Structure 1
Amino acid sequence: MCARSITTTRWTQYLAPTDAVYIIGIVLGLFVLVFLDETPIRLIGACLVLLAGVFLVINVSARMREKVSWRPPNATQKLELRSQVRTSTDGTKRIVFDDYASSFNGDTDDQEQPTPPVRTESVAPPSNRRTERREAPPVGTTDTSEHGDDISSVRIVRRSSRASEVAPPTEPAPSNGQSPAVSPPNPSAPKIRHVQLSLATLIEEGFEEDAAEPRREFGHIIKGVMNVLRSTMNARTVTFFWYNADRAELIFEASISDVADSIRTQRKFPLGEDIISHIATDAQAQIVCDIQQSAECDLLPYYYQATGAKSFAGVPIFLYRTVVGVLSVDSAENDAYDEQTIAILGQSARLISMLVQSYTAKYDLQQNARTLETIVHFRRLLQRPDCSIGDIAQALVHAALTLIEAKGAGVVLFSTERNCWEVAAARGDELPQPGTSIELEGTAIARTIFEGVTVHCQHCQSVQRRYWQHEQSTDEGYFIAVPLRTPSENFGALFVESVRGRTSPQDIAALEIVGEQAGMLIAQLVLGHRVRHQALLDPTTQAYNSGAFTRRLEEELARCRDTGETLTIGLIQLDRYRALDQQPLIRQTVQEHVIAIIRSQLKPYHLIGRFDEDGTIGLGLVALSEDRARSLVEHIRKKIASTPIAIEGRTVVVTISVGLATVKGTETVEQALEHARTALHQAVRRTNAVVLYT
């Protein structure tokens, strides 16, 4: 902890704008007292001077009592660093610590290393710095020290004693019934003062919500470290910069300042001649004194206007022996920092380095967990009977936006209906909407689709176009396109973009894993679709599949025309029940039950099969007139309605709606099916009915 003491300076610097009233009163009273002759008026002037002066003295004295200055903490082990002094042409004095990297590179062992002896070249000690030594209090006295800070507004008074004498034993109470004599209190006994402090005042608002996100949690802890530095040092502004050596730039991550209005909102700074850039590139801790007002903004890049900063101290932050950031403080007092300041900042920088390592590992684990959850969700999605490629595309977009922070994401697949590549699913503003065609010449998406490679562009400078020719481009943010592939095929691409921020290799790797899993699932769906269309019978009900049912109707129609028989086509649909719509597996069981009852009522040469993916059942009644066909279907309807089915311990009764159409004249199978569909729509509106198309 640090101690605070009263500062002895000129009283004029404690004047405030509100004191102008008292000063004007004093001047006015003096004028009346000197230049006017009437005695009563001169007495009034004298009283005015006296009252205004008294109030002015009271206000200034109160401010002087409240004024405190920082005194460096008494270090238990003083750190000695080798330093050099460099003075610029404008009078700014810069102290560079050469051996800082060997002491605070963040990768040293936990054991204390011997510090080299100090070797100072032409370094004069600050003129206004003095070392104070406090004598130990005598035995039996109380040493009172106050510790406080400007953040929590809590001051704790601690009373300690160095008494070594043993308190005398307590005398036994007299036996004559008189009350024992009260002994005087022991002056060496400790006195404890309880401070009522709510836990909510120590926890930053929103920390628990962001604790699940490592990046936001890291930001909260960094601000906590900066708050500690500002409250324990003579610091007016504390800043933290990331250093990107590949792009030769500084990223302004966080700041805590008493002059926040003068802090730049700019986030990225190119390397230059400012002190932050020198600390990052030279990997040396530096102290700057005698900062001139004209050079302040050039020396401290985070200010856009002069604020009166006189002293600055900054240290590099090492991660695996490489500089990754800069931690700095500045003050309005000249010669405010020394070697002990660098030691405190160095320990804080080492703490930040360990936090970076910890939260990097935590972020990787979280990304792996999210990726695994996405894969499990894909597997469960594939188990649903009604799962489609569109469902996988929607789940893929949601997974991408869960894995990384982005403005939006989308999936590009091939549309067999339009015979082109189009956006199948998308989420986010200013992104191509579902159904938008993608150009295949010179676009990043086309390269991902045809070459099966991941395309990643930061600031979108490595590719000219992403989707099409006339698109809105930006110089900020990033764009990623990941293929949805298997070892032998590529089914499309997943694209993610944002107008700000960057992506890490871990983010891209997670997207590639999710893309591969989605490609495998799409391949399974496509293979299953091909098998179902090439197979004649459904494996569970032994009914014809959709394609086989249509071909068998065409064959039976040709035969009926040769023999002069009648062909009646029927379409059957289960009436809508909410329980069936919400549970596809139960609906599949009910359909198998209905098909079994229908098959038991038909002749071996009648046709039964699945008509479409919605569960519609098709019938082909051969050699039956319209009346007989309608009577047979009506009997089937009643049979189904009167036959309950037990599902999961419950008894379920379902009904069906049927549409019939007889092939007449030269009608084709497609025309007859369209007539049967029209009749089915009428039956569905009635529910539990049979309608014959006329």
Structure 2
Amino acid sequence: MPKEEKNPASFIAAVAFFLMLLFLIVVIDNKTLRFVLAATLLGSLFVLLLIFLNKRKKATELSNLNVKTFKTSTQREEGFIIKKQEQTTATPTEKLNPRDEFKTLLRQVLTIIKNQIFSDSVAFYWANEDKRQMVLEEGITELGYNFVKRYNWDDDVLTDVAITGNPKILGDILAEKDVIKYQSPSVGVKSLLVYPVTYRNKVIGVILVDSKQTQTFSEDDLKNIALFADLISNLIENYTTKFDLFYSDKVLEVISDSNLTNVEQILNKVQNFAIKILDCVAFGAVLQEDEKWVVKIGQSKIGKYIDVGTPIDLTGSIVGEVITTGRAKIIPSTRTVGKVVRFTENEKINLESSIAVIPINHGFKCYGAMIFEHSKPNFFASHSDLQKLEALTKITGVILENENLNELIENYFIYDEATLLMRKNYFLLRLDAEVERKLKHGGFLSLVLFSVDNLDYIRKTYGGEATYLILPEISNIVRERINKFDLAGKLDENLIGVALVEMDATDAQLWAEKLRRSISNHEIRFEDKSFSVTITVGVSPWDGDRNAEEFFLRVMNGFLKVKQSAENIVKVF
């Protein structure tokens, strides 16, 4: 037990001080001086008394504390259980962290930008207009510098783009410190592209990409960045809604599992809530699939309800009406309104119920609808119950939006935007899988490479913009002529590859010849003119090549030899 320390020297000094004051009061004849000394003595005694009382109080508190400690230890020895504070389980919305999801998806987008633009660095900065600051959200670099997390608006490029909303490309930066404030330390960047990101018609951030090489970025890169800026804007819209839902008490009541990452999970969760918690007699959900609105889930407590996969009637059904209008519809009781068509005119549903049909909305888009049926009339008349159902559909809308965004990002990565053909990396990845399959199981596989003849002549005759139409037009013809298991990719600016699965060299040559003729007979219209093009084609069968790269390089070498000697021809090698 801690003890109060005593100081004998201090005590002796205090006693000596008081004795000296008493001696001086007695000896000195001067009344004024004696009065001052007496006042000093009284004041000192008063201070000493206060110190004494304060120490007594502390000693009492310490004693009480020791008694409590002793009692606690005694209780433990005698077998009493001292309970710890119970740890509360995190609620679903506490587990759900939309900001982390946003940062993860944003980093994926930035990684794709960096790979597509061939830059050394990429980053996204918020433009904080209130504080007049640029604030880092996420950044990736290979140049070894640190991104400045926050800096005040200045005369740098990022600030200029944030204020004006106009993108900028710098190709030969001389005075780096005057235009670049986001690096620490500066590393001698020569090229910089900065593009604004808008939200609700206001610049809220910028994307930047940089390079140590001069003249790295072009107008085409600017167009690509614009697409990703729209993606990030959609992400912000998406997660702004998520944050609004983050603290929703109704969602806490309904969703007990935070691991809801796809539509099937959330629909099953909502179905369980509708049937078991709300005691609904039936529940169904309709989503779009292959450009049709179909039933994705349907269950009834008292018999068959509706088959999964059933296409619905947009006109004449209450679910179709809700999807079309984007507004909820409540039917207090089917007994009072007569026949109700839920999904389709041919359905065989004979339930007497009250019905709530809620649209699955996110932003300005409707992704489908959910239908709830209860045996009690006017069950969904309560505004709070309706809000609870709308909260569920909002979550479903957010998850559907996430899936769409992920698919969109993936498509940007694996497909060329202009031709809708696979990009080279993805094409070779898929081709590698086909080669591995042939090594294990055998079979035929042919690779066709072709390019357009005389592009320079077309550019000089009709202008550069006319050449941009050629590959997309040709790609349409290619896609119409391949099977769903064949592969087609844009492998270079003027090179398309097609892998014909289970096709030998003879059949591949016939296929390539038909393609060559179709393209040469195809008329390409540009403004008030029209023209046609020819292609040179190389065909080669798989010949035991160990992987896609080996197969592609062999065929490419043969194709280049064909290009040097002839045009508008199909050559097998």
Q: TM-score by structure 2 length? A: 0.31
Larger helix fraction of residues: 2
TM-score, L = length of structure 1: 0.26
